[in-house]
Chains A and B, each alone.
Chain A
Amino acid sequence: MTDRQVNDVSQFAVKSHDATKDVQKTVTPRTSSPGDRRARLLAKTQERIASEEKIVLDWLRNQPDYRPSLAYFLELLSDRRIAAIESRCQRKAIRLLCNQIPLELILAAGFQPFKVVSGSSAEASYSAHNWPALMCPLIKGILTALELDPDLAQGAWVAPTSCDWVVKFWEARQRVMAGTGQIQWLELPHLKNRPESQKRWLEEVRAFHRYLEKLKGGKIARQALIQSIEAINRAWTAIISLKKARRDGRLSLGWFLAIMGAFFLDRLERWTSQVESLVLELEREPTGGEVFGARVFLAGSPIFFPNFKAPILLETAGLKVVADDLCSSERIFPGGQVFEDVSEYGLLASLAGRYHQGCLCPTFGDNERRVNNILSQRRESSFQGVVFVVLKGCHPYDLESTTIEETLKNYGLRFLRLETDYAPEDRQNLLTRLEAFGHSLSGVR
């Protein structure tokens, strides 16, 4: 081989190439900062919530019992932003967690009571990675709702110390929206029958009264309190008629829950008037005759819009819910108020008694009335079984379901416990159980 040839061959030698640069090439990311990513996640969550809500709103609109007078409630459910509610009601809203807060006092002080809830699977999922897996989905969802609607995080919040999740909520929200809003606690005694507990609770209600006066910047007139008690009594009378319409098969479970879900979204008088008109309409029509399908009582964890998985499946399975004891539905407040002593102290004592003694929340240690209520409703509504829905992470209902099941079975009632969450994936599994339960109630082979 000549030198020349060597030189020629060298022309074909592989050129030295630094591959590191190829590996280092990056595709321009869509997210440039953690803040951007959060904004995109929130936007995506908002889209998903809208899609969940649309499915349920369309379902409600397509129910056989839909009528134009129900459009009002659909409209309320379609916009539950705090700004929309305050604008609709022309007054400031007080954000509430749980049911033990006397609504009459808030109304008498000139505020709009607004129970903060979340029934959205997308809302609960957004917060999931930040919190324990077996955490109440309602609280998880609310923590997301605060990020989605910063107006909601502001303002006055009131929380009774009911379940552990509610108690720890304020601490949790500091991680999400630190420094926003103010909390007013009502320390709820968990024994109803002890005189010391009743006295303690009355003190809490009186302190709440003082808090509202401070917030209002003036005294709450006794007459205003009597008027708000009467307004709540009127709403309760309307709810009783609505319950009867459902029991008689004139109103579906889905619509009953939707109407109750709209309770805090408008001025009480307007909501009550709409319910009264609806009831009049329903009462003018002949009943569908005998209610077909197995009659059941619905109990357990609350059902908040748009988590209508259970009602949709119950109706798909042909089960007729004739009564319930959900704190999102029939137990939204503890009935009407009877009072003899019209002094301020007398009115407050009467309210305190009803919101404590009349509450059937499973967080109470002495809660025999819960079972007694189901049994007395059975006499009124003649249902054959109880469907008890437990939200994963809702520990008080979960625990109580076992004792309630045992007791009710001793009284000859069939019992079906469904454990679920807001996610839709277990629908088929739940439907199979509900169908079989319905057939077992009607004795069909």
Chain B
Amino acid sequence: MTIKAGFDLGSTAIKVVLADGEKILWSGKTPTAPGQLTLAQELLGKGLAELGLTADSVSQVAATGYGKRLCGLAEAQIDEIRANSLGLFRLSEGRARHIVNIGGQDIKLIRLDDRGLVSDFKMNDKCAAGTGRFFELVARLLDTPITEFSRLSQESTENITLNSTCVVFAESEMVSLMAKGVGNSDIIKALHAAVARRVAAMMGRSDLGEGVWLDGGPAMNRALVEAMEDELMTDVFVLEKPQYTVAYGAVLSLGL
């Protein structure tokens, strides 16, 4: 059996998808740290071991993400926007037209045509506002794991507003709210709304009739998805494993 591997070497996590044709056999991730090649090799080794395969079974490897050039394993490289569009278009069975990807250090908005080709895209400038890094900062500040954000947000009883998604300004705003005795759940709900507002501002006046597909790690946060639905006023679809769509797109770029 020969399989293909797609790596997404992001700023926060390295993700890999092992696939036989279009079929995903295994997916896994590990936090990004120095020595990305070793980390990627270990992750691949883990996947192969779980599938009962050896390195010889991997016929082709593609890489995407900020670390794609650091990954000596890959013979093909693809930019994240194209990988994202390929992966999500296929996984959504050709339904996705608008993608919002929230990554570790950027937000990407991608518009697809009915063939799945990128017709337009936007990315935030060098600013971590509203990205995965922003969520990490808030988690540290509130001493609360990100995995708890969704549940806590739903427990919120008071509507408050965070005026900024700028990491620096939001931090001081949150410290001030905490000093006033505002609870973590209310702050987290406000955080989701602020990120959703930022995405909506980036979206501009786009017609979102077909809904929006959200992917990247933060898409697993149900409360964020609801906040985005409220702000964008459209359906927000999320796949079961939204953090692997880009790595899957890298596999697809190798051809079937």
| A and B associate | yes
Do the beta carbons of B123 and A444 come within 8 Å of each other? no
Do the beta carbons of B125 and A429 come within 8 Å of each other? yes
- Give the CA-CA distance A437 to B125 in the complex, in Å: 16
Tell yes or no: A276 within 8 A of B by CB. no
- Give the CA-CA distance A445 to B81 in the complex, in Å: 11
- Interface 0/1 of B71-89, CB less than 8 Å to A: 0000000011110001000
Do the beta carbons of B106 and A436 come within 8 Å of each other? no
Do the beta carbons of B117 and A429 come within 8 Å of each other? no
- Chain B residues within 8 Å of A439, by CB: 79, 81-82, 118
The tally of residues in A whose CB lies under 8 Å from a CB in B reads 16
Please give me the residue from chain A that is nearest to B125 by CB atom. A419
Residue of A425, A433, A435, A443 touching B117 (CB-CB under 8 A):
A443
- Chain A residues within 8 Å of B79, by CB: 432, 435-436, 439
Tell yes or no: A428 within 8 A of B by CB. yes
Total number of A-B contacts with CB less than 8 angstroms? 44
Tell yes or no: A196 within 8 A of B by CB. no
Do the beta carbons of A432 and B80 come within 8 Å of each other? yes
Do the beta carbons of B126 and A425 come within 8 Å of each other? yes
- Interface 0/1 of B95-110, CB less than 8 Å to A: 0000000000010000
Tell yes or no: A63 within 8 A of B by CB. no
Do the beta carbons of B125 and A440 come within 8 Å of each other? no
Residue of B66, B106, B116 touching A445 (CB-CB under 8 A):
B116
CB distance from A388 to the nearest CB of B (A): 14
- Chain A residues within 8 Å of B116, by CB: 445
Tell yes or no: B121 within 8 A of A by CB. yes
Do the beta carbons of A436 and B81 come within 8 Å of each other? yes
CB distance from A105 to the nearest CB of B (A): 41
Tell yes or no: B206 within 8 A of A by CB. no
- Give the CA-CA distance A433 to B80 in the complex, in Å: 9
Please give me the residue from chain A that is nearest to B86 by CB atom. A445
Tell yes or no: B59 within 8 A of A by CB. no
CB distance from B256 to the nearest CB of A (A): 12
The tally of residues in B whose CB lies under 8 Å from a CB in A reads 17
CB distance from A280 to the nearest CB of B (A): 39
- Chain B residues within 8 Å of A444, by CB: 82
Do the beta carbons of A432 and B118 come within 8 Å of each other? no
- Give the CA-CA distance A68 to B121 in the complex, in Å: 41
- Chain B residues within 8 Å of A426, by CB: 125-126
- Chain B residues within 8 Å of A435, by CB: 79, 81-82
Residue of A420, A432, A443 touching B81 (CB-CB under 8 A):
A432
Q: Which of A123-180 contact B (CB under 8 A)?
A: none
- Give the CA-CA distance A433 to B119 in the complex, in Å: 13
Q: Which of B160-183 contact A (CB under 8 A)?
A: none
Please give me the residue from chain B that is nearest to A419 by CB atom. B125
Do the beta carbons of A436 and B121 come within 8 Å of each other? yes
Do the beta carbons of A440 and B66 come within 8 Å of each other? no
Top 8 nearest A-B pairs (CB, nearest first) are: A436-B81, A435-B79, A426-B126, A440-B118, A436-B79, A439-B82, A428-B66, A432-B79
Sampled A-B contacts (24; CB under 8 Å): A425-B126, A426-B125, A426-B126, A428-B66, A429-B106, A429-B123, A429-B125, A429-B126, A432-B79, A432-B80, A432-B81, A433-B121, A433-B123, A435-B81, A436-B79, A436-B81, A436-B82, A439-B81, A439-B82, A440-B119, A444-B82, A445-B82, A445-B116, A445-B117
Interface contacts beyond A432-B66, A432-B80, A445-B116: sample of 8 additional A-B pairs, CB < 8 Å, sorted by A: A419-B125, A436-B79, A440-B117, A440-B119, A440-B120, A445-B86, A445-B115, A445-B117
